[in-house]
Amino acid sequence: MFKIKVLNHDVIEEILGMKEVIEVVEKVYTLKSEEKTELFPMVFHEFERGIADMDIKSGHLKGIDIFGLKLVTWFGENHKKNLPPLIGTIMVFDSKTGKPLGILNAEYITGMRTGAAGAIGAKYLARKDSENLLMIGTGHISTFQIAATLIAMDNIKTVRIYDPINHDNARKLSESIKETLMNKFLSKYEVGTEIYKEINEKFDIYFEAVNDIKEAVSLSDVIITATPSRKPLIMKKWVKKGTHFSCVGADMEGKQEIDENIFGVARVYVDDINQAVNVGETEIPVKKGIITKENIIAEIGDVITERAKGRISDDDITIYDTTGIALQDLLTSKLVLDISEEKGLGVEVNL
């Protein structure tokens, strides 16, 4: 018999800070670059086509001695039963003994690590003097993307927000985002500390909703896309030299957020090459022959560890295709488990 920690959504949200998650996700990419990780094949099953499915993403962080999985289910008719349609659970194990270390609600961890991933792409590939951020999409993940990118970058002064379906969603987010950033992200840090002052200053910028995506693209230095789109929202002819894209939404075959022809003139980076060409934004450009798998410059971890070059000039258009990998969930979960142990939070269960 041994003890295992169980952490719910509220405890995780209370103790997890975005700056620390950015550091953790960077660590994941570094370990992957150093070949100290392993991703296991993804499992996907449809219980009923278009109504109920599940997927399991899993892996091993050899450099940290943990392995585990994230299981996400989608049951589209759960609202009839007063249940959320999307439910995620993470399990973390000790890779030296096989002992389970924790069971965690996956929702907040997924949002945080996804936001961190998009931001890391911008941090390492966008121009350092970038001032204008365009957020495409206003769903749940958009707040995490904005928070992480502002924390990771030093000179963003304006955030424009665009919703491809309903402009009112962009307007509402632009009006509420500053309060959300202060209450949900800045509040994790002690008032008066250097980190508090730094993040507070980065959040104190201008936010606006935009209705003309063509004009917004032309004004933007960094563009983050986080939608479920299956057709391009941004066309190549709108994109100015020096623009960086972090493409977050495409995580399934057939999804697409930007014109595939942009890939033909861009330096392309990914979180995992095999996932990117199969289910990421890179999938369609490869299938249409605009680029090949070999045209991908590198995985982002190789840029962080300086095994590969990132942006070469201010005129480069750069793309970071992040499909999301289980390793991000696992190391973020390890961070949460460690903090919860220090603070005496969560529930311990005897198995």
pLDDT at position 286 = 97
Same domain? For 178 and 259 the reply is: yes
Same domain? For 51 and 150 the reply is: no
Same domain? For 267 and 315 the reply is: yes
pLDDT at position 212 = 97
Closest-CA residue to 160 (of 213, 227, 203, 121): 213
CATH of the domain at 34: 3.30.1780.10
Least confident stretch, 179-193, 249-263, 282-296: 249-263
pLDDT at position 63 = 87
pLDDT at position 2 = 81
Same domain? For 307 and 334 the reply is: no
Mean of the pLDDT values across residues 240-269? 95
Same domain? For 235 and 261 the reply is: yes
Whether residue 7 has pLDDT greater than 90 = yes
pLDDT at position 1 = 73
Q: What percent of the chain has pLDDT over 90?
A: 91
As for how many domains the chain has, the answer is: 2
Number of residues assigned to the chain = 351
Task: Please give the biggest Cα pair distance in the chain.
Answer: 62
Whether residue 317 has pLDDT greater than 90 = yes
Reported as a single tens digit per residue, the pLDDT across 161-211 is: 999 999 999 999 999 999 999 999 999 999 999 999 999 999 999 999 999
Categorize the per-residue pLDDT at 35 as very low, low, confident or very high, splitting at 50, 70 and 90: very high
Whether residue 50 has pLDDT greater than 90 = no
Backbone angle region of 81, left / alpha / beta, with phi > 0 → left and psi within -120 to 50 → alpha: alpha
Residues with catalytic roles: 70
Same domain? For 140 and 45 the reply is: no
Same domain? For 172 and 257 the reply is: yes
Q: CA-CA distance, 52 to 147, in Å (whole number)?
A: 32
Same domain? For 150 and 243 the reply is: yes
Reported as a single tens digit per residue, the pLDDT across 115-162 is: 999 999 999 999 999 999 999 999 989 999 999 999 999 999 999 999
Whether residue 98 has pLDDT greater than 80 = yes
Same domain? For 245 and 226 the reply is: yes
Domain span including residue 88: 3-109+327-350
Reported as a single tens digit per residue, the pLDDT across 320-341 is: 999 999 999 999 999 999 999 9
pLDDT at position 307 = 97
pLDDT at position 278 = 92
Question: Residue 347: how many CB atoms within 10 A of its CB?
Answer: 12
Q: CA-CA distance, 112 to 152, in Å (whole number)?
A: 13
What the block records as the tokens of 266 is: 């861009």
Same domain? For 148 and 97 the reply is: no
Mean of the pLDDT values across residues 49-65? 92
Q: Read off the pTM.
A: 0.95
pLDDT at position 76 = 86
Same domain? For 147 and 296 the reply is: yes
CATH of the domain at 172: 3.40.50.720
Q: CA-CA distance, 50 to 48, in Å (whole number)?
A: 6
What the block records as the tokens of 282 is: 């890179």
Reported as a single tens digit per residue, the pLDDT across 257-273 is: 999 999 999 999 999 99
Q: What order do you get walking across the sheet with 158-162 strand by strand?
A: 206-209, 158-162, 132-136, 222-225, 244-247, 317-321, 266-270, 298-299
Number of C-alpha atoms within 13 angstroms, CB side, residue 235?
Answer: 6
Same domain? For 320 and 334 the reply is: no
pLDDT at position 253 = 85
pLDDT at position 250 = 85
